[in-house]
Amino acid sequence: MSLNKSNLQAKLESGKFAVTAEAGPPRGAKPEVMRAKAKILKGCVDACNVTDNQTSVVRMCSLAACKILRDEGLDAVMQMVCRDRNRIAAQSDILGAAALGISNLLCLSGDHQIFGDHPQAKNVFDLDSIQLLKIARQMRDEAKFAGGKDVDGRPDLFLGAAANPFADPFRVQVPRLAKKVAAGAQFIQTQCVFNLDKFIEFMKGVRDRGLHEKTFILAGITPIKSLPMAEYMATKVAGMDVPAALLERIKGVEKKKQKQEGIKIAVETIHKLKEIEGVRGIHIMAIEWEEVVPEIVQQANLQPKTA
């Protein structure tokens, strides 16, 4: 439906395997931080996600950080959470982003504010991620706001959502993905995959319902930086599934070489993910370790065409 397709949309629709990465905005007003991340990622990813106050910690807004990436020649995916904005602000930000040429929109519920640096904050959740997807699609396809009035100049949007095959209860994760696809999700970025068996089971459910033909699924990858990081993800982060065998593997490597082992695991996982029918790309979430992305992309023989 979009007239101007984003680099990411064009790449996925061409049938090629896509690569996206994630860049967290700074905790301050320094644009050079985003520019430096853009320089690292340019040429090795098809698009770069910008997180929206992830883990409820205040950072530069996703919209501004996306604009900086675009100015550096990167296609940006604006993440938008429902925690901090009502339907008025959400639609306004979508129009603003589209006006600046940012058309990839990842619709998320958002982490609860209790995890961040302002746990006393009031959360909004006027909408949830599925309702946000539907509203964004309606703005694009019907030129109508949620309230029913006309949009004067519909936004070009390539709409995405998250899926977490490792969240509970497992039995609703495929139906939940189906809801997101029905609401307008054209691409999906998944939670990081450490438990391949479970991901394979999830993807079978996805294929059984033909969802892989209705949306582009990008499997999440997070390179493990150290044993404490892996242990933290395994025990402290809900919705993360780090198998004991993986922890043992990291444990078996001397501390100095754990980073390299993390990269090796990431590359091995990517090779396996590429073999799964319905996986159309990889989404690399190297948390505050963006500089590792080019190495992973190169080692995994992912050679995307860039913007």
Partner 1 sequence: MIVGDQKPIEEIMSYLEGYERILLAGCHGCVTVCSAGGQKEVDLLAGMIELGRRRRRQACNITKITLERQCDPEFLTDLLAKAKENDVILSMACGAGVQLVAEKAESLKVFPAINTNFIGAVQEKGLWTERCQACGDCKLSLTGGICPVTRCAKSLLNGPCGGSRNGFCEIDPATPCGWQLIIDRLEATGCMDQYEMILEPADWSKSRDGGPRKYLREDLK
Note the residues at the interface with partner 1 (CB under 8 A).
82-83, 87, 109-112, 114-115, 123, 125-131, 134-135, 146, 162, 164, 167-169, 171-172, 175-176, 178-179, 182-183, 191, 238-239
Smaller CB separation from partner 1, 88 or 99:
88
Q: Which of 113, 81, 93, 103 minimizes the C-alpha distance to 1?
A: 103
Helix axes 196-208, 258-274, angle to 10 degrees: 20
| Cβ-based neighbours of 21, under 8 Å, separated by 6 or more | 41, 44, 45, 48, 49, 283, 284, 285, 286, 290, 293
Smaller CB separation from partner 1, 5 or 179:
179
Smaller CB separation from partner 1, 176 or 259:
176
CA distance linking residue 263 with residue 25, whole number of Å: 23
Smaller CB separation from partner 1, 43 or 116:
116
- Nearest distance, CB of residue 54 and partner 1, angstroms: 13
Smaller CB separation from partner 1, 171 or 256:
171
Cα-trace Rg, the chain:
18
- Nearest distance, CB of residue 263 and partner 1, angstroms: 25
Smaller CB separation from partner 1, 127 or 302:
127
- Nearest distance, CB of residue 131 and partner 1, angstroms: 5
- Nearest distance, CB of residue 90 and partner 1, angstroms: 10
- Nearest distance, CB of residue 87 and partner 1, angstroms: 7
Smaller CB separation from partner 1, 109 or 306:
109
- Nearest distance, CB of residue 227 and partner 1, angstroms: 22
**217 close to 173: Cβ distance less than 8 angstroms:** no
- Nearest distance, CB of residue 44 and partner 1, angstroms: 27
Smaller CB separation from partner 1, 6 or 113:
113
CA distance linking residue 185 with residue 267, whole number of Å: 27
Smaller CB separation from partner 1, 7 or 138:
138
- Nearest distance, CB of residue 307 and partner 1, angstroms: 30
- Nearest distance, CB of residue 82 and partner 1, angstroms: 8
